Amino acid sequence: MSTPDTAAPPRSAPARSAHAADLGPILVLTALLAAGVVASVCVGASGLPFARAVHGLFVWDGSADHALVLDVRLPRAVLTVLVGANLAVAGLIAQTLTRNPLASPQTFGINAGASVAIVLVAVALPSLGGAGLVVPAFAGAAAVGAIMWFLSVSGAVTTVGLALAGVTLQLVLTALVQALLIMSNTTQDMVFWLAGSVTGADWSKVAVILPFTLVCCAVVLLAGRHLGLLQLDVMTGGSLGQNTRRVAGLASALVVLLAGSAVAVSGPVGFVGLIVPHIVRRLPGGGDLRRLAVLCMVGGPVLLVCADLAGRVVAFPQELPVGIVTALIGAPSFVFLAVRQRHR
Amino acid sequence: MTPPMKPPATPPMTPPAAQAPTPPTAGPRPARILLACTAALTLLVLIALVSIARGAVSLSLSDVVDGLTGGSNAFIVQEYRLPRVLVAILAGGALAIAGVFLQAAMRNPLASPDVVGLSKGGGVGATVAVMLASPASQVWAVPLGVLAGTTLTAAALLVISRRIGASTVTLVLVGAALAALAGAAIEYLLVREPQSADQALVWLAGSVYGSDRSDVTALLVWLAVCLPLVVVATRAADLAGFGDDSIVSLGGHPVRVRATLIIAAVLLTAGAVTSVGGIGFLGLLAPHLARFAVGSRARHLVPMSAVTGALILCLADFVGRVVALPNEIPAGIVAVVVGGPYLLFLLIRETRKHA
C-alpha cells in the first residue's frame, strides 16, 4: 500500500503549495483589515482605548461610549470597508474587461458621471435622499461607461489614449458639477462630498450600499471563470466557447453597479479602483480572476480604511476627505503605470 | 597623404510623425490671413461691447460708448465692466500664446498650460501664498507663489518626460496626473483653512469676477515685460517644429530654442493664472482654431491665437454671466465644458493618424 502522498499524481504537490500561497496574502490582508477597522473605531476626536471601545460595542448601557461606537465610528468603518471593496473590484473588472491597466471607475470618468447625475437630482429634487440617489448614480455611471465602451471597442483611441479620454471626460463632468452647484447655491454642503468622503456615515448609508456589494461580489465569484476569459481577446474567448458579448455585458453592468453605489454613498473617491488591482496582482500566488477579486475585496478596504485614518489624523482637528488622501497616493502611481505602459 | 575626408553620411533626418505643429508650409494666402484677423478682431470688439452692455444693469450700446468717454454711466462701465473685459482679453491672449509655445516646444498638439498641469501648479502656489503670507503682503506673495508653482510643475513635467521619452499622449497623461496631484494638494490646503475656501474655489475654477483697474494695470505691465521674450520665442517657434537634428542643421541650438519657448509659456501662464485662475482648455483650443484660419507659421499664428484666446475667454465669461442669472458661472467652467470635448476629438484624430 502506498501512502496517499506517493500515490497522488505529480501535479497535486505543486497544486497544494500553490493553494497555501493563495491563502497567505488573503490572510495577511484580512489581519491588516481587522487591525485597520479596530484603529478606525478607536481613533478620532475623542480617543477610545480598545477596552472601552469593545465595552461600548457590546454593553448596551446607553453610555456616551456606546452611542459613539455604535452610531458614529462603526458605521463609518463599515461604510469605508464596503466602498473600498466596491471600488477595488470595479477597477479589477474594468481592467480585465478593457484589457487596459489604466482602467478604473475614476480614470474612465464613471465616478464623475455618477456624481453629475447625483448632483443634478439633488438640485432638482432635494427631497430625494439616501437610497433615492442610487438610481441616478447608476444612470450617470452607465452613460459614461457606454461612451468609454464605445471608444474602447471602436478602437478609436489607444490604451493610453483611452485613459486620457476618461480623464478629459472626468474634467468636463466635474466642471458641470461645479456649474450646477454654483447655479443652485449649494456649494457649501457638497464640496466635501465632491472630494470623496465617508464623513457623516450612518447605518442608512450602509444599508444603501450593502446589497449591491454583496450581490455583485457574489456574482463576480460565481462567474469569475467566465469574467477571467475577458482578458483574452474576443477571438480566443469565442473559440473557447464563451458568449463574449454576454459576459462583457455582465462585466460592464457589474462595474456600473459597484461604482455607482459607491459614489452614491461616499462621493467620487478616486484611484482606489486603479491601484488596488495592480497591488494585489503583485502579491504571491496565481493570477486567477476569482482569487484576485477576493484579494481586491479585502485589499481595497485596507487601503481606504488606512487613507481615512490618515485623513483624520494628519489634519487634526480638521478632517481631510478620504478622496484627497487617495488622490495624493494615487496620482503618482497613475504616472508610474502610464509610464510603464509606454515601455511595453 | 591623408585620404580625403568623406562627407558625413548621415541621412537627412525626417521629423517623426508625432510632431505637433506641422513645420511652416506655404499656408493660406496673405489676403485670407488678413481677412481672418480682421474678422476675429471685429468679433472681439463686438463681444466686448455686448459684454460691457449686459449685466445686472442693462445698458444700450450708445450708453456704453457714452460711458467709455465719461458720460452718465461712466462709473459702471469704467470701474466694473471695462476692467473685467480687459482682463479677459489680456489673460485669454496670454494663455493662448502660452499654448502655441508649449505645443511648439513639446511638438505635441495636445499640450497647453492647463492640459499639462501648469495652471493647477500655479494654483497650488497661489493657495500656499494666501495661507502663509500676511494679508498685507499678498499683493506680491500671490504672483510669486503662482510663478513658483508653474515653474516647478513645468520642471517636473520636463524631467519626467525626458526620463521616459514620453509619447504625445503619455506626456499629456502625465500632465493630467500632475494636475490631479496639484488639485488634491489644493483641496488639502483648503480643508485645512476652510475660512478662505469659498473665495478660493471661485478663483481656482477660473473667473474674471471682481477684476478692477489695478488688475488690468498689473497684468498689462507683466505682459509688457514679457513682450520682448514673446517676440524672441515667436521667432523660435517655427524652428522648434523640427526635430533636434534639423534644428542643428539649420544653425539653431535645440535646447536653447525649446527653453526659450517654455520659459515664455511659463511666464505668460503665471501672469494669466494670477489674475484669472486656471481657465481649462483655453490654451489648447485657441491655437488650434487659429491654425485653421491662418496656418501654422508662427508670426501669423501667435497674434491670431492671442485674438482667438481673448475672444474665447470673453465669450465664456459672457455666457457664464448670463446663463444662470442671478448667479455667475466662472468662465473657466464654461471653457472646460466647451474645450473638453475638443480634446477628445483631437485625441481620436491623433490616434487615426497613426493607425
Q: Check which CATH number belongs to the domain holding A303 and give it.
A: 1.10.3470.10
CA distance A222 to B214: 66
* pLDDT tens digits along B43-79: 998 888 888 887 766 777 777 777 777 777 777 777 7
Closest Cβ–Cβ partner in A164, A183, A188 for B169: A164
pLDDT at A83 over 90: yes
| SS3 readout for B142-167 | HHHHHHHHHHHHHHHHHHHHHHHCCC
Lowest pLDDT segment from A99-103, A254-258, B150-154, B302-306: A99-103
For residues A184 and A123, is the Cβ–Cβ distance under 8 A?
yes
Which chain A residue has its CA at the smallest distance from B329's CA?
A179
Instruction: Give mean pLDDT, residues A107-135.
Output: 80
Closest Cβ–Cβ partner in B180, B194, B347 for A331: B180
Predicted confidence band of residue A219 (pLDDT cuts 50, 70, 90):
very high
Predicted confidence band of residue A78 (pLDDT cuts 50, 70, 90):
very high
CA distance A139 to A128: 16
Residue A230 in any domain: the answer is yes
Chain B residues lying within 8 Å of A341, measured CB to CB: 170
Owner of C-alpha cell 490604451 = A159
More confident residue, B4 or B266: B266
CA distance A304 to A255: 18
Residue A168 in any domain: the answer is yes
More confident residue, A275 or A46: A275
Query: Cβ contacts of residue B349 below 8 Å, gap of 6+?
Result: none
Residue A49 in any domain: the answer is no
* pLDDT tens digits along B238-277: 888 777 778 888 877 778 888 888 899 999 999 888 888 8
Evaluate the CA torsion angle A230, A236, A238, A240 in order and state its sign: negative
Proportion of chain B above pLDDT 70, given as a percent: 85
Nearest-neighbour CA in chain B from A54: distance (Å) = 32
B352–A contact, CB cutoff 8 A: yes
Q: What is the pLDDT of residue B3?
A: 47
Contact A338 B170 (CB under 8 A): yes
Instruction: Give mean pLDDT, residues B279-287.
Output: 84
Contact B194 A187 (CB under 8 A): no
pLDDT at B21 over 70: no
Predicted confidence band of residue B327 (pLDDT cuts 50, 70, 90):
confident
Q: What is the mean pLDDT of chain B?
A: 79
Chain B residues lying within 8 Å of A334, measured CB to CB: 173, 177, 180
pLDDT at A196 over 80: no
Q: What is the pLDDT of residue B14?
A: 40
Q: What is the pLDDT of residue B267?
A: 92
Predicted confidence band of residue B13 (pLDDT cuts 50, 70, 90):
very low
Proportion of chain A above pLDDT 70, given as a percent: 84
Closest Cβ–Cβ partner in A158, A160, A328 for B184: A328
Q: Which of A144, A151, A160 should one mutate to test binding to chain B, selecting the residue with the greatest count of B CBs within 10 A?
A: A160
More confident residue, B316 or A344: B316
Q: What is the pLDDT of residue A218?
A: 93
Residue A5 in any domain: the answer is no
Residue A53 in any domain: the answer is no
Evaluate the CA torsion angle B180, B182, B187, B188 in order and state its sign: positive
CA distance B52 to B106: 38
Tell me: cis bond preceding A75? Omega within 30 of 0 counts.
Answer: no
Owner of C-alpha cell 458641470 = A176
Closest Cβ–Cβ partner in A324, A330, A332 for B188: A324
**Which uninterrupted H or E stretch holds B66?**
helix B61-68
Domain architecture of chain B: domains with CATH: 73-354 (1.10.3470.10)
The amino acid at A70: L
Residue A327 in any domain: the answer is yes
* pLDDT tens digits along B89-100: 999 999 999 999
More confident residue, A265 or A160: A265
Q: What is the pLDDT of residue A92?
A: 92
Closest Cβ–Cβ partner in A158, A328, A339 for B351: A158
Contact B181 A172 (CB under 8 A): no
A217 exposure class (CB count in 10 Å sphere: 0-12, 13-18, 19+): buried
Owner of C-alpha cell 477684476 = B211
| Longest Cα separation, chain A | 83
* pLDDT tens digits along B229-238: 888 888 888 8
CA distance B153 to B265: 12
Predicted confidence band of residue A89 (pLDDT cuts 50, 70, 90):
very high
pLDDT at A63 over 80: no
Chain B residues lying within 8 Å of A167, measured CB to CB: 173, 176, 180
Query: Cβ contacts of residue B92 below 8 Å, gap of 6+?
Result: B272, B279, B282, B286, B306, B309, B310, B311, B312, B313, B314
pLDDT at B205 over 60: yes
Predicted confidence band of residue B132 (pLDDT cuts 50, 70, 90):
confident
Q: Which of B114, B174, B192, B336 should one mutate to test binding to chain A, selecting the residue with the greatest count of A CBs within 10 A?
A: B336
Residue A22 in any domain: the answer is no
Q: What is the pLDDT of residue A186?
A: 61
CA distance A259 to A118: 13
- Among A60-64, A69-73, A210-214, A330-334, name the most confident range: A210-214
Q: What is the pLDDT of residue B1?
A: 41
Helix axes A159-184, A322-343, angle to 10 degrees: 160
Nearest-neighbour CA in chain B from A198: distance (Å) = 15
Q: Which domain holds residue A193?
A: 64-343
Total number of domains in chain A: 1
pLDDT at A7 over 50: no
Q: What is the pLDDT of residue B306?
A: 92
More confident residue, A276 or A157: A276
Residue A96 in any domain: the answer is yes
pLDDT at A1 over 60: no
For A250, the grid coordinates are: 455582465
Predicted confidence band of residue B124 (pLDDT cuts 50, 70, 90):
confident
| SS3 readout for B171-233 | HHHHHHHHHHHHHHHHHHHHHHCHHHHHHHHHHHHCCCCCCCHHHHHHHHHHHHHHHHHHHHH
Q: What is the pLDDT of residue A298?
A: 92
Instruction: Give mean pLDDT, residues A130-154.
Output: 81
Predicted confidence band of residue B183 (pLDDT cuts 50, 70, 90):
confident
Chain A residues lying within 8 Å of B337, measured CB to CB: 172, 175-176, 179
Instruction: Give mean pLDDT, residues B284-313.
Output: 87
Helix axes A134-153, A244-266, angle to 10 degrees: 140
Question: With a CB-CB cutoff of 8 Å, which residues 169-228 of chain B face chain A?
Answer: 169-170, 172-174, 176-178, 180-181, 183-185, 187-188, 191-192, 194, 197-198, 201, 205
More confident residue, B27 or B95: B95
CA distance B60 to B37: 27
* Chains A–B, number of C-beta pairs less than 8 Å apart: 138
Closest Cβ–Cβ partner in A160, A192, A327 for B184: A327
pLDDT at B199 over 70: no
SS3 B166: coil
Closest Cβ–Cβ partner in A155, A172, A342 for B170: A342
pLDDT at B10 over 60: no
